[in-house]
Structure 1
Amino acid sequence: MGAAALLLSLDQFVKWTIATSLPRGEVMAITAWFNLVHVLNPGASFSFLAEAGGWQRHALTAVGVVVSAALAVLLWRGIRGRLVSAAYVGLIGGALGNVADRLRIGAVVDYLDLHWRGMHWPAFNLADIFIVGSAALLIAASLGSRDDSREVGRRGTT
């Protein structure tokens, strides 16, 4: 759980840095295809539910907390495989990073803006990278060998 707390702290530090150094709505060009921006997303991925009227803040917060708690229990009980353990840690750190924003300001701070020839990928943040990267680890673990009998982690040890 210490690793998840580290990821959460890193996410919150970067968001604080963006929020204190780049006014909301501003764009800072870094390369021809990458900007730093400061936007707030009251919804989920790709601004899904952003215009839902406010209830989504509480629903998305609850989902993030419940999923993180369930994954923490699974980690505490012991997980088979290092990839799955790493994925669970990343999911917890990322989910709680976005939960912290929703609780603190009612929306998630996004700041990474990828674009090409006038097309923009929706802005995202480090917590989102942790979540997507963890999903990729879970896919990789599911494609790996099934005879991995090493049990990783038991009540916080690895």
Structure 2
Amino acid sequence: MANRKHFSSNSGGGIGSWLGIAAIVVLLDQITKITVTQILSYGQAIGVTSFFNIVLVYNKGAAFSFLSNQGGWQRYFFTGIAIAAVILITYLIKKHAGKRLFCWGLALILGGAVGNLIDRLMYGHVIDFLDFYVKTWHWPAFNVADMAICLGAGLYILDELRRSKS
């Protein structure tokens, strides 16, 4: 019970701690991407288990390779969306810095957005490498930034559900 109360408390925590969490996500994301690009060539896979590979692939689109086969305009479109999201999320974290669960979610989303934004700006695509599959069906490859965004979105939804009940 103490953990739940502590985790959802509205006290403490300035914007610096939330930006620190986002920075850790960016750092982990970029380190893993650099490591994979040093070890593998494009399309090369290393089997880890019967349902998981590490594979180097590039995503020029958004989630699940949405718009990846377009003429290149999507790079600028998704870069613009990411920059706008970073500005909005930073504003929301600053405004609500004491709302822990809300800010945890936003900090994770922010870190993931910045991690993938760095890829788009530096390479023109996002580096993905985590490949889960069942027999011949593969889930779209993803990365640490994508995991942080999904976890952050889940925490954001949980926070909204908790607030709507009270």
TM-score, with structure 2 as normaliser: 0.85
| Partner Cα separation in structure 2 for residue 22 and residue 60 of structure 1 | 26
Q: Does 1:82 align with 2:103?
A: no
Q: Does 1:47 align with 2:75?
A: no
Deviation string for 1:96-128 (max 9, x for gaps)? 100000000000000000000111000000100
Deviation string for 1:32-70 (max 9, x for gaps)? 000000000100011100011101001101111111111
Find the residue that maps to 1:144 and give its secondary structure.
helix
Q: Does 1:141 align with 2:159?
A: yes
Of 73, 92, 96, the match for 2:91: 73
User: Structure 1: which 4+ aligned runs deviate by more than 4 Å?
Assistant: 145-148
> Which 10-residue stretch deviates more, 73-82 or 16-25?
73-82
Structure 2: which 5+ residue stretches go unaligned? 1-18
> Which 10-residue stretch deviates more, 8-17 or 74-83?
74-83
Q: Percent of aligned pairs with the same residue?
A: 39
Q: How does 1:111-150 map to 2 (within 5 A)?
A: 111-145=129-163
| Partner Cα separation in structure 2 for residue 43 and residue 147 of structure 1 | 37
- Superposed displacement of residue 81, structure 1: 2.5
Structure having the higher helix fraction is: 2
Quick one: which amino acid aligns to residue 114 of structure 1? F
| Partner Cα separation in structure 2 for residue 45 and residue 120 of structure 1 | 15
Of 77, 83, 100, the match for 2:118: 100
2:46 match: 28
Q: Does 1:2 align with 2:20?
A: yes
Find the residue that maps to 1:13 and give its secondary structure.
helix
Find the residue that maps to 1:50 and give its secondary structure.
coil
Q: Does 1:62 align with 2:80?
A: yes
Structure 1: which 5+ residue stretches go unaligned? 149-158
What number of residue pairs does the alignment pair up?
148
- Alignment root-mean-square deviation, CA: 1.4
